[in-house]
A and B are shown apart, each in its own frame.
Chain A
Amino acid sequence: MLTVHEHLVKNVHLGAENSLRDGLLTIAPEEIRALATHPLIRSVELHIVRPGESIRIIRVLDAIQPRAKGGDGAVFPGFLGPARVAGAGDTHILSGCALLTVSPLPRAQEALIDMAGPGANLSPLARENLLILEFTPVEGAPWGEYEAALRLAALRVAAHLGGIARSAPPGRRLRVPPASSAIGLPRVGYIYNIQAQGSFKDTFVYGRSARDILPTLITAGELLDGAVVSGNYGHPSLKNSTYAHLTNPVVKELLSRDGDDLAFAGIILKPEPVTLEGKELVAEYAAKLASQLNWQGAIVTKEGGGNADTDLFLAAEKCERRGVRTVLLMAELAGPDGRTPPLLGSQPEADSLVSVGNYEEPVSLPSVERVIGGDSLRLADGPVAGPLTIPTAPIFGALSPVGIGSLRARAQ
């Protein structure tokens, strides 16, 4: 059994001593800098950014919701502390705030967050108080090693911030059982596709790349403790940041309705292989698990672009054929004017789709007072603080495949 203690953060500032009081999180910067030290990191600059401020953040790599264990053990097992199965005990989380890593990284697709204006409605991170760690690499640092160093530093800081909440008065408490005890209700599970291709497009489970795993069961508690961490710098609006793994709305919804109108029958974590043979295998295997566990239905989410749609549709096909009904969440590639046929490749079984928006729809962003993360954008000409017209695609989390965003597309 995991007990989650949720502490709401309403404002963040830097100060002499760490504390969380009445929603105000005070962070002592020197400790953060110490945690973010590494031979390959030349410098880290701290920024605090709040919803509504006229600030544009570029070169966003990952976002993490801070958390820490209440007693023994560590969050982000396999990165902080040994890889021990997580999901029990007490975990303190800070809601209303997130940690963001920002850095140049050539292999990363350009990612952006506007904290105010029309862009702010599109990035779920824009409604959080953000502590931004802006990293610069040491000259000549190999990018793969530098990226690993950033990730470790950020996870340390996230756990450190979570630790501040330990001694704060308790917020909301949520009990997360390892399994459902509901009887007589439809057994509904979640097939959770994660993109793990190796270098810069990876997802880690207990610290290991999930690239070649077979689908496996994982519990909500393990996810909440950070067993799944993102190392994916592909499509910023279509990838799962660590924040998305930690706050997964599909998991939350199934947990909250467990015992009401469904029995939350489990989560299958499933990779997205790069060969068709691999995709067929893991889809079949996941369907086998679902059917073995007597699931009547499965929500299926993906990660990534058009390639991952195949994984989604194969999962639907294999599940439906075994009598497990499916509903798929996906973003649409409907072209800048919304007129391109919305799906690329489909199976007849993929007839229950929930839209998280059109990837390519252009959005006009106004100019901003301040930019964090760099002074030029690859994806648009003109000054980075100036007005921009860009597709929805580079906005961090806008079309989140697990639904942390708020977009959908409709026929017009």
Chain B
Amino acid sequence: MLRIVHYINQFFAGLGGEEKADLKPDVRSGPVGPGRLLQSLLQGKGEVVATLICGDTYFAEQPEESCRRLADLLFTLKADLILAGPAFASGRYGFACGEVARMALQELKIPAVAAIHHENPGAQAATAGAYIVPCGSSAASMKEALPSLLALGIKLAGGSAVSPDVDGYLPRGIRKNVTAELPAAVRAVNMLLAKIAGHPFTSEIPLPQFDRVPPAPPIPHSREATIALVTESGLVPAGNPDRIESSRASHFARYSIDGLQAFTPGKFESVHGGYSTDLANADPNRLVPLDVARRLEKAGRIARLYDYYFTTVGNGTSVQKAQAFAREIASEMRRSGVQAAILTAT
């Protein structure tokens, strides 16, 4: 018998409208408001054992505190499943439902689903990892929204495998390996024949939208700038003292170039596993241009080269790691008065 806890706001709990939107998280026994319809849909497969209620304004202004209180309330309820909403197009309610669904799943490890209209900003919780089923924009669609909310919830609580294609929830931006039902070659030929014939087909990998970063302001003149050399080529002192991995590097390193006029072959090497490194090892300045950078420094074209260069291996490195490295490196650069970077990549 599935123990379900339903999350709704003050309005759907029948406690009032905007004037009660500051209600703190509270719990009632059994189903309340739309929860009764949910209960009737269950047909003995489960029970709405309790309803959590929170004012939309209270949640919007204090999301962490709200979640903390709701988590405390949930602790004693021994829920197998949490269902939130439907929130339709209500912004604050949608935000709360999405957050509750995410928090329950990721922090409390309880299966959870929210029903939110896909254009409701609260639906963004999907990309943070919550299961969100889209629903209509007004309460007029309550009768359609509840069954879809329940259906996915029951599947998750039962441990079934789910996917956006089959179960209709909003993409969470998560990719998971599965055993393919048909070999890749067969799927590829099928897809190609459909494409040639002008029939619809679905690409298996979504094309990404990369975020644009506003460019950093330029340096006024390199003659006055301290510049650091950075590389993804895997150039390290011979022997790879900090054991940077040849692919999927877990860290970066910095090495002193203080007093060094150039990289000497044999004293430095590349540990990058993604390309043939013979040419680079024959002259490591082909990876990080220390020799020429020093000449430009001497000639006053660069005020100063930073005393260290930064290195890692950009071979199969995940974007998350790259971001983490860059944050640390930038932080050190700012502390040390480095104003710009030259980054070589392979």
Contacts and interface: CB of A to CB of B under 8 A. Distances in A.
Direct contact of A and B (CB under 8 A): yes
Interface string B311-331: 000011011100000000000
A148 interface: no
A257 B189 contact: yes
A408 B178 contact: yes
Interface stretch (B15-23, B67-75, B167-175, B294-302): B167-175
B191 A409 contact: no
Contact of B207 (A254, A351, A410): A351
Nearest to B316: A305
B176 A327 contact: no
Contacts of B209: 341
A341 B188 contact: no
Contacts of A393: 247-248, 316
Nearest to B211: A341
17 contacts: A198-B276, A199-B276, A200-B276, A296-B196, A327-B191, A329-B188, A341-B208, A341-B209, A346-B208, A354-B187, A358-B176, A358-B177, A360-B248, A391-B248, A402-B185, A409-B177, A411-B206
B246 interface: yes
Interface string B202-220: 0111111110000000000
Interface in B145-195: 162-165, 171-180, 183-189, 191-193, 195
B247 A332 contact: no
A360 to B, nearest CB: 6
Interface of B: 162-165, 171-180, 183-189, 191-193, 195-197, 201, 203-210, 245-248, 273-276, 278, 315-316, 318-320
Contacts of A405: 184
Nearest to B247: A109
B189 A299 contact: yes
Contacts of A252: 185
Contacts of A408: 177-178, 180, 184, 187, 204
Contact of A342 (B189, B196, B208): B208
Interface string A350-381: 11111111111100000000000000000100
A261 B193 CA distance: 8
B185 A409 contact: no
Contacts of B196: 186, 188, 296-297, 325
A91 interface: no
Contacts of A298: 192
Contact of A360 (B163, B187, B191, B316): B316
A109 B273 contact: yes
A393 B184 CA distance: 18
A333 B164 CA distance: 20
A40 interface: no
Contact of A411 (B174, B193, B278): B174
Contacts of B195: 297, 325, 327, 352
Nearest to A202: B276
A253 B164 contact: no
